[in-house]
Amino acid sequence: MVHGNGRRKSHPSPQRIRRVIVANPPRSAAPFRRPLRHLAACLSLAAALLGSVPAIALTPPDTAAKQAYLVDLTSGEVLLDKNGETRMAPSSMTKMMTAYLTYDALVHGRTTLDTGFPVSQTAWKMGGSRMFLKLGSQVRVEDLLRGLLIDSGNDAAVALAEGLAGSQSAFAALMNAKARELGMTDTHFMNASGWPDPDHYTTARDLAILASHLIRDFPQFYHYESERTFTWNGIRQGNRNPLLYHPVSVDGIKTGHTEVGGYGLTASGERNGRRLVLVVNGLPSPQSRNDEPTRLLDWAWNSFKLYPLLHKGELVEQAPVWMGAEDSVPVTVADDVTVTMAPADRNSLHVVATLAEPLPSPVHRGDIVGKLRIDYDGAVRRTVDLVAGADVPASSGLTALGQRLGHLLP
């Protein structure tokens, strides 16, 4: 019996691995809502619904973007990946991380929306897009956020970085630490604004991760990315996100442009209960930054559907427990499990469940006890943890003695 980091020397359990493969799933989504009582039932449904299938059977559209990464945030399914892990210049999409760290400081009480940050000469003399801060003035954090996200102000980015961390270099260190924490595995920031630097890079996938966290972690601040205009110092500027002005269901979040990187956009929107996050970069013109994301988002909303599989805490299986105060423990999932896929793809999915049993006692609620794995076209697309739904302490006294004797006797 394996438990923790080692193997117990006495009373080993007769542990085995159960594997179930289910194909030919049901064609209707109607049965997916019925209660699940055991693992086989779960897999019969999972074969129709579970998985991360990045538009294989459904051919993705061509795009002029050098990089494009599209994910359904509701289910986590990747719907389009064109050079999603290729390094690129993030340009002003960098400011999403500047906003993230500002939001984090707000919720943890390190600053407030009404706190005034000074405008240094470094901030004041920044080129490129600006909110036109006055040298030596004190500007509220909330105004700097609007200047950052609506005006794409490089001066606002520097003022926030200096106000929160003392210097741009110190703030960049915070940005990089947060990137690692969020799982942005190929990102390195040199500044808060996205000003070009050879060592300032990211990937479309990493920006999608960042945008997803912005939306999920700080929903109370998301409206700043949606606002269309902002007036500061007598100058009224419109949000540079072109999709905010079109009926395409987009409500945020950030544009970017450099001569080297081209035109980019991280966009998010919700339609029919599905929130998408799209990152495109390397587009040749402002018009293409308007047209390409609109076309890609419409394709994703129209071609895929969201199917529910399991609700958080829903019973999947009763797993036997070795030397436990109870004979078994309920097995469930820690979060709702949904899948986004083209309806025609349901019948081509294969689901493999792996459950080690009996489970060694003690078992704690939330312990990972197995996996649901989705395969498509010979490749693994997604795995979902199966977790214990209750605590089962180790048996003791006469109960433990009886269990041990029962194992030793034929």
What are the tens digits of pLDDT across the range 104-156? 999 999 999 999 999 999 999 999 999 999 999 999 999 999 999 999 999 99
> What is the strand order of the sheet 350-357 is part of?
16-22, 350-357, 368-376, 379-388, 328-332, 317-322, 359-360
Q: Which residue in 92, 129, 249, 361 is the catalytic one?
A: 92
Of 363, 319, 361, residue with least CA distance to 16: 319
| Domains within the chain, CATH numbers bracketed | 2-53+309-408 (2.60.410.10), 67-303 (3.40.710.10)
Of 336, 265, 250, residue with least CA distance to 65: 265
**Strand-strand pairing, 274-283 and 67-72:** antiparallel
* pLDDT for res 112: 99
Instruction: Tell me how far apart the alpha carbons of residues 62 and 354 are, in angstroms, rounded to a whole number.
Output: 38
Q: Which residue in 95, 120, 249, 268 is the catalytic one?
A: 95
Q: Cβ(280)–Cβ(293) under 8 Å?
A: yes
Name the burial class of residue 402, with classes exposed (0-12), middle (13-18) and buried (19+) by CB atoms within 10 angstroms of its CB: exposed
Length in residues, the chain = 410
Residue 125 annotated to the active site: no
Q: What are the φ/ψ torsions at residue 406 (nearest 5 degrees)?
A: -65, -30
88 DSSP 8-state letter: B
Which helix H or strand E contains 81, and what residues bound it? strand 77-82
Q: Which residue in 44, 75, 120, 152 is the catalytic one?
A: 152
Instruction: Tell me how far apart the alpha carbons of residues 211 and 209 are, in angstroms, rounded to a whole number.
Output: 6
Cis peptide before 358 (omega within 30 of 0): yes
Q: What are the φ/ψ torsions at residue 60 (nearest 5 degrees)?
A: -70, 155
- Locate 349 and state its tokens: 């999915």
- Locate 395 and state its tokens: 């048996």
Cis peptide before 196 (omega within 30 of 0): no
Tell me: the pLDDT tens digits for 257-290?
A: 998 889 999 999 999 899 999 999 999 999 999 9
* pLDDT for res 248: 81
The pTM of the full predicted model, rounded to 2 decimals, is 0.81
Low-confidence ranges of the chain (pLDDT < 70): 1-58, 348-351, 353, 374-381, 397-410
Instruction: Tell me how far apart the alpha carbons of residues 12 and 302 are, in angstroms, rounded to a whole number.
Output: 54
Handedness of CA 368, 374, 378, 379 (dihedral sign): negative
Residue 254 annotated to the active site: no
